[in-house]
Chains A and B, each alone.
Chain A
Amino acid sequence: MKPRKMLVFWCSLLGLIVAMTLLSGPLATHPVNEMDLDAVYSPPGNGHLLGTDHLGRDVFSRLLEGGKVTLAVASLSVALSFVIGIVYGGISGYVGGWTDSVMMRILEALISIPSLVLVLGFQAIMQGGMWGMTFIIGVTGWFTTARIVRSEFIRLKDAEYVKMAKMFGTPLWKIITGHLLRNSLPPLFVVTIFNLAGAIFIEVSLSFLGIGIPPAIPSWGNMLYNAQNDLLIGAWWIGVFPGFLIFLTILSINFIGEALKDPGRRRFHA
């Protein structure tokens, strides 16, 4: 496939998934938490498109609703890490000197901790609901963003037009937002897309481990967490469908990121 066509294909697939989760209200065939104890572990078909779980809840409807939760947590946390990354990287890159060195050493230390472990540390003290999760993923996900903003700012701050703007007495905030930040957007955009895949991954992982989103709220990770035991008695559909949807979502995001990264590969290698 041509790169252009591929981009369109993966964008549409991702769009379809997002749209389906957003429209979970009208699309769901059953209420999310409706239990049907007569139809426990019923396989796909028989009035339940993708079968039912251990409480007789409809897998398809929960899948849509769960996607909404997972995607909302992921997007909000990425927005948070976007902001933190820009502020941290921006200060480090613009101020430079020993401030930059200190901030970079701290960043290096943070990067060398497995982010999942860092998340676990936070989770131990918060164990909140959705908002807590969003906060934790956001607060631990800004490292690459900060690095890119820093290197872009360092590259751009000595550019002719920035010097010119300074000479004309353009206010600092205008130089930063209008010149530096604006021109760092393309690589930032790409890294943010990959961050989104990462955020989904962390939410799903934590919920899967049973320490993420409270079990009462359906999310893709929570569904997989419940599916672990169902699997052993042969109810494969409870685990296979949410996992496949997670896979498709992350796959489309990664392909979109790759497609956008490619044209200017050298520039984006920070």
Chain B
Amino acid sequence: MTVKWIGKRMMLGILVLLIVSFLSFFIMNAGPGSSATAYYGGNAQTLTASEKERISKEFGLDRPLIMQYGSWLKETLKGNLGMSAKEGRPVTSILGERLPNTLLLFGVSMFFIILGSVWLGMAAGMKPGSLLDRGLSTFSIASSSIPPFWLGILFIYLFSVMLGILPSSGTRSLSGEGGFVDKLRHLIMPASVVVLTHVGLYARFLQESVKSEIGSYYVMAAKANGVEEREIRRGVLRNAFIPYLNYLGMTVPSFFGGSVIVEALFAWSGLGQLLVKSVMVKDYPLLMGGIMLTGLIVIVTLLIIDVLMYMLDPKLRRGELGG
């Protein structure tokens, strides 16, 4: 049962990835500038018609789109994402260099967001009508309205320009010896920007589901029977956590999109910054690879969340809600 359910989820994820690849492949190839001419950058205009034709042949661009997609898919499944049109290196190795940085930023900020929002959401939700309870909604709307890159700009001004205590960009110091501590110092600002602009949203969601749990009969009955406060808290959190996880899953894509901007602002050399750069120089193979990897990260995260929900929710396990 369990294996079957997870298998079904994985199939859905693969289907989503296929659709993503199909769409982005067609969007990118419908455009006027082909990647063959992008290869020549500014010199593309000086190419003659026959030269263009020769290049198209060489890159296989004279075949129908669906055939091109087919061969792209075949190569991708073999683990070959082609060569970057600008850097002349395999896309996979470029992506490989960027992936750890993105996962670090994503993982660290996700961890603190979950930690912070569970703490805030529980504290506010368990005491309806308290100052925290009333303040949290306002804080949540306000903090999620701040453009992350603007907060980042303010942070850079405050901590790098005025106080000079934190590095304003990059993943490591140019002069220093580098190392883990150095990387962490560079991580502080981008991660806090992501956490601060998102934590309120998730805290508020948990707060509302905690509040609706608190009013239910099982909590009242537990209280009436003198069950310890701590036990009640645990039960409430466990039940409120399921919709919270669901919400987390729903918002992972946009959350990930937001980190693209933060990466670009802080020159954090991750996937997001790479995507932006490849758009600027029209490096289609690289962009395509970056989009696929982003999609993969999102799908895997969703899968992890699904499995967690499955473990927490007995209704799902019994198959009452359907896959």
Contacts and interface: CB of A to CB of B under 8 A. Distances in A.
A120 B16 contact: no
B279 A120 contact: yes
A112 B16 CA distance: 8
B170 to A, nearest CB: 14
Contacts of A231: 153, 156-157, 161
A209 B152 CA distance: 13
Nearest to A109: B19
A41 interface: no
Contacts, number: 134
A122 to B, nearest CB: 6
Contacts of A116: 254, 257-258, 260-261
A240 B160 CA distance: 16
B124 interface: no
Interface string B137-181: 000011011110110011011001100000010000000000000
Given A117-B275, A208-B261, A232-B161, A247 B145 contact: yes
Interface stretch (B51-59, B184-192, B220-228, B290-298): B290-298
B131 interface: no
Contact of A113 (B30, B153, B287, B295): B295
Interface in A135-168: none
Interface in A231-249: 231-232, 234, 236, 239-240, 243-244, 246-247
Interface residues of B, number: 51
> Per DSSP, are chain B's interface residues mostly helix, strand or loop, or mixed?
helix
Chain A contact patch, size range:
35 or more
Nearest to B264: A209
A246 B150 contact: yes
B253 A115 contact: yes
A228 B154 CA distance: 10
Contacts of B147: 201, 204-205, 208, 243, 246-247, 250
B145 A254 contact: yes
Interface string A208-237: 111100000000000010011001101010
A109 B291 CA distance: 13
Interface stretch (B20-28, B62-70, B91-99): B20-28
A114 B31 contact: no
B265 interface: yes
A255 interface: yes
A258 B141 contact: yes
Contacts of B264: 209
Contacts of A250: 145, 147
A245 to B, nearest CB: 10
A172 interface: no
A243 B282 contact: no
A124 B15 contact: no
Nearest to A236: B157
A124 B145 contact: no
A31 interface: no
* Residue among B257, B258, B265 with most chain A CB within 10 A: B257
Contacts of B144: 254
A229 B154 CA distance: 13
Given A114-B253, A255-B141, A121 B287 contact: yes
Contact of A224 (B149, B156, B257): B149
Contact of A243 (B23, B150, B256): B150
A108 interface: yes
A126 interface: yes
B32 interface: yes
19 contacts: A109-B15, A109-B20, A110-B19, A110-B23, A112-B253, A112-B299, A114-B257, A120-B276, A120-B291, A201-B147, A209-B276, A211-B276, A231-B153, A232-B161, A232-B168, A244-B150, A247-B146, A251-B145, A254-B145
9 closest A-B pairs by beta carbon, nearest first, are: A125-B31, A114-B257, A243-B150, A116-B257, A109-B19, A251-B145, A109-B16, A250-B145, A114-B253
Given A112-B20, A112-B302, 18 more contacts: A105-B19, A109-B19, A110-B23, A113-B253, A113-B298, A117-B275, A126-B31, A197-B145, A205-B149, A208-B261, A209-B261, A228-B265, A231-B153, A232-B156, A232-B168, A236-B157, A239-B154, A247-B147
